[in-house]
Amino acid sequence: MSNSRRMPGHEPRQEAGLPGHHGAGGASIGKTEASGRISKRPRDGHDDRILDASSPVVRALLKISPLRWWRSAPADAFRAAEYLEVRSALEDVATLIEGAEVEPALQGDADAAIALVLSLMPITRVGGIKTDIAMTAVLSLALGGELRCALVLAHVLDRAEPDPRRADQLCGSWFEFHQNHSVSRGGFAPAENAVLEALRAFDAPRARKEGRA
């Protein structure tokens, strides 16, 4: 990735907007502490049962193509029409898994969506229905003006996309999206730094493991 688009904490790879939309959402999966840090709420296993690979619900979810857009299209590819399709897809998911722990994230609760992604970290590859649902929730919020979610997309794509060139393109597009929409124009708000810190915490164990290899 070029220096102009380097994410804070970005590690060199060895090989390979819309108007503000801030949804309300019931009880959050996670919460933002006074420091701005996202804390995770323990999962009770309910979602693991619902998203079992043999479930007909999963087969239905896999047919919702916008759930794959977060990992296949750069930020500047999304317009109002795509945003509406992403929101519609999340509404379909919420209908299929009504009452699940992920529902606040699907309804537009940014803290819940970010906490949901953190609960799946480290995300080391693209694909997987739970990852697609979580990242699509984040995608929707990013397109709606939640810049913390744009940084989550950049971070995860940078580390999970196996093709280095594609990873740089997708990650760079969301980092550029953040820069273009940020009031500080190049800096990070305290809440954004808190999210980046929480995401980078999952890099340290990986770095130690690679160092022993």
- Six-digit token pair at 31? 């919460």
- Ranges of residues in the chain with a pLDDT under 50 are 1-6, 8-9, 11-50, 209-213
From the centroid of its chain, how far is CA 47?
18
**Would 9 be classed as within a structural domain?**
no
**Would 125 be classed as within a structural domain?**
yes
**Would 111 be classed as within a structural domain?**
yes
Number of domains within the chain: 1
Which pLDDT score, from 0 to 100, does residue 175 have? 94
Which pLDDT score, from 0 to 100, does residue 64 have? 83
**Would 177 be classed as within a structural domain?**
yes
**Would 94 be classed as within a structural domain?**
yes
Which pLDDT score, from 0 to 100, does residue 13 have? 45
Separation CA 106–CA 99 (nearest Å) = 11
Instruction: Count the Cβ atoms, other than its own, within 10 Å of residue 6.
Output: 15
Domain that holds residue 139: 23-32+44-212
Which pLDDT score, from 0 to 100, does residue 97 have? 86
Instruction: Count the Cβ atoms, other than its own, within 10 Å of residue 54.
Output: 6
From the centroid of its chain, how far is CA 71?
10
**Would 16 be classed as within a structural domain?**
no
Q: Are 151 and 190 in contact (CB under 8 A)?
A: no
- Six-digit token pair at 193? 């730094």
Which pLDDT score, from 0 to 100, does residue 51 have? 58
Which pLDDT score, from 0 to 100, does residue 162 have? 95
- Cβ burial of 190 (10 Å; 0-12, 13-18, 19+) is exposed
E strands of the chain, at which residues?
A: 30-32, 38-40
**Would 49 be classed as within a structural domain?**
yes
